Structure 1
Amino acid sequence: MTFDRWNPLNDAPSFPAARYAAIADRIAKILKTRNDVLLIQAEAVVALEAAALSLARPGLKAINIVTSMYGGWFGTWLRRGGAEVVDLAAEPARPIGLEAVEAALNAHPDIKVLALVHAESASGIRNPLEEIVALARSRGIVTVVDAVASIGGHALGIDELGIDIAVIGPQKALAGPAGVSALSVSPAAWKLISEQGAPRDSILSLLDQKAWLETGRGALSGTTAPLEFFALEAALDRVEAEGIDAIVARHVRAARATRAALVAMGGELWIDALHGSNLVTTAKLPAAADPAAVLSVAPRGIELSAGVGPGAERLIRLNHTGQRARFDIVLGNLTAYGMALRRRGFKADISAAVDAIALHYGD
């Protein structure tokens, strides 16, 4: 056995501490915010849990909008910290209605925190973020937004909207690594987090993470994962070269082309364009179709998968996220879906779908 062959995955060079602050600043530009940006050395679900536990304490009351399992988890974390939580659940695999949010806010005037997911990749829906944040902001409520699946796929201006805490992961529309995440924190959120009883001495304490800001944004605490940060830098290079607005526009185009082609094929959209995500398009299967059977005969290597969670059991997701948001993937997805339906005895006008896609990518 020989050990003289170097592998870049082993004994990786350290990531320069001086570049962490630059990464935070680059993320702030993507988020269009002047709020503090923290880097979390873990997948975004850890950053979400840290936000919940840093806010939660006895006496705090929160509205938690649930449109997937992720919203459900956030409510669990808030309760674990002692908060009183009003879960506001939408119909399964559907976005929350603005009227329901307004009614809940009117019924609970003592709410201090409102949390929601922007876009759901599990079901392909998008919650009315702008309107919900405006309602909360008018009441002085701190907002927490899970933007993991939406950043880069939807327009998101943190300061313009007045979002207090936004959690992102670079692994979806930004086409980056999954093992590192970030969150932005407003002065109002820091004030609430800093109240008596805030958790300390924990990797899930944002106040402990804030020490990085207060000591000049040098080395991060703990043992850093250099490969994740080198990969994040490479992803940010690609994002900046293309431009965040151009990336959003590319996802919008892919979503519009996919929806138009699905309708032209004779398929059924699960959600309309106004309430749909730009990351994935969800198709509702014909009543007699079995999801597993349809996927089993789809051509391999195509971005088709089953919906996830309650209400999404009979949905097929056509994925056009990140670097998949382009003509060849959109075309391949629709062709594969049409072929799978035909192989199971259902009608699918693939030619009409191709024509619809061509209209969106004809320039």
Structure 2
Amino acid sequence: MSNLQVSTTYILTHLGLIFFLYPSDVIDSTNEAQWLPVLTGFVFHLLIIFVYLKGLRYFQGESIVNILLRKNKIVAWAVLLPMLLYLSWIMIIAVRSFSEVISIAFLSNTPIWILILLLLLVPGFMTLHGKIGGLLRLSIMFSCLFVIPIVFVLATSFQNVDWHYLFPLWPGPRALHFLTHPSFYKSLFAYSGGFLLLGFLPSYTVYKPKAVFWGSLVILPSYLIAVYVPVLTLGEESARQLQFPYLFIVDTISINWLMFDRINVFLLLSLVAFCMFFIAATMFQILEIVRLGIKDISPNFLVPILITYSLIICLFIPDWKTVDLLFQWNTPLRLYVACVTPVVVLVIGWLHARKLKRELNST
């Protein structure tokens, strides 16, 4: 059961990140063969979780915070401080961007601060009262409630596609030009936003790495659909002009036999639930770093402080242009955390295994 919970948790934390900014970032990064940046990002994603899980396996049942602090304090904080900053940053960006999307989609008359507060209070309650065990169990319930609507929307979003826009399938001479485009590196947020959680779970549950890899393969079609449905429906040039291309396409779908006028209600409600789940998981990681690495303060105090701090910062972000700018500024920190953290954990794990082997041989 723990393998299933970890796998669904991993899937849900990523599904909430795919359908908003990711399609526009990938489309902006290349003029053709969008599958190449999608698969490149996915291979990068598989590589970092492989290295990360390989390192964690050297320390059975230990949190990444305990692993790092036990070995070397300087190295530990060279990893943990950027990680803490990154998690705080992406939580604020996620709250502010999702509140903007909700306001644009169907709550345009609701003050933005109410939506921000809602996206902080509900995950805060989930984190405070459910803790990680509650989040793992909640992932199963969310998957039962919302995955079927998501699959329904994904299937019906192909309603108006023109398969001629799929070509050329093979990129031209500048096939890897997207690697020089900032939008590609911004899109890696959809791959690296939730992998750190895997390092906090060993203290609470036992799971097999293959459960995570199966979960990654399950969400691969979502990455491709989120990018290709707008391209196949509107063409690459038109899709590039849209802020949320996939949401726009879903909003244009018409199904006569469905009682709802707008099918995007299914998608948005599901994604809001996944977003809250992602924010709750991020809060949990921040609390773990603070409590284990800095000072063991009760979550009853830490969660309200975190909510208040995040609310104030979110209110100082005036518009979507600033949100997008924050995503761009976050890119170097994101790449540092995504690349350095797995490598450091693997190296420490390897050295730990060598030390144990030497001690065993000496006895």
Tell me whether the two structures share a fold, i.e. TM-score over 0.5: no
Higher relative contact order (CA 8 A, sep 6+): 2
TM-score, normalized by length of structure 2?
Answer: 0.25
Q: Which has the higher helix share?
A: 2
TM-score, normalized by length of structure 1?
Answer: 0.25
Q: Which has the higher strand share?
A: 1
